[in-house]
Amino acid sequence: MRIVIDTDVFVSSFFNPKGAPKKVIDLWKTEKAILCVTEEIIEEYVEVLMRVGLSGEPELAELLGLFKKKSNILFFASTPKLTLIQDDPDDNKFIECAVTAHARYIISGDKHLLGLNRYQDIQVLAPADLLNVKSLLAG
């Protein structure tokens, strides 16, 4: 299952090790989901995680190691430009990546993305909602 994970989910996963965002990240780490990213998305992950004070943390080093190894990741150098989210155009990169990757889900806690609900065949879900998807639990 291909997923695109919004930056807020990555950040939340570091601060609540038993919460839904951490469980979503673990789906990727345990190869139950394929993380779809672009250079722009990875840069935002790293920039925000460093800004919130995680630059010296072993979890960030582990994450960077997984990105470097391209472990269970689909990387896209370019994506079509979309302007679906007018109030926060920076969020469009997650939709663009999902479209290019033929991802099934965008996982986010962002009100702009969640407000979209669905685009084409891509569902936008909060982390807890992804964990309740029956097809995921079966696999």
Note the pLDDT tens digit of each residue in 110-137. Answer: 999 999 999 999 999 999 999 988 555 5
pLDDT tens for the chain, residues 1 to 139: 999 999 999 899 988 889 999 999 999 988 899 999 999 999 999 899 888 887 777 777 877 788 777 778 999 988 889 888 888 889 999 999 999 999 999 999 999 999 999 999 999 999 999 998 855 555 4
Helix (H) or strand (E) holding 29: helix 20-29
Host H or E run for residue 2: strand 2-5
Any idea what the Cα angle at residue 37 is, between residues 136 and 104, rounded to 5°?
Answer: 30
Give the global pTM.
0.90
Q: What is the pLDDT of residue 118?
A: 94
Domain ranges of the chain: 2-138
Q: How far apart are CA 107 and CA 116, in angstroms?
A: 12
CATH class of 2-138: alpha beta
Burial zone of 29 (CB within 10 Å; 0-12 exposed, 13-18 middle, 19+ buried)? middle
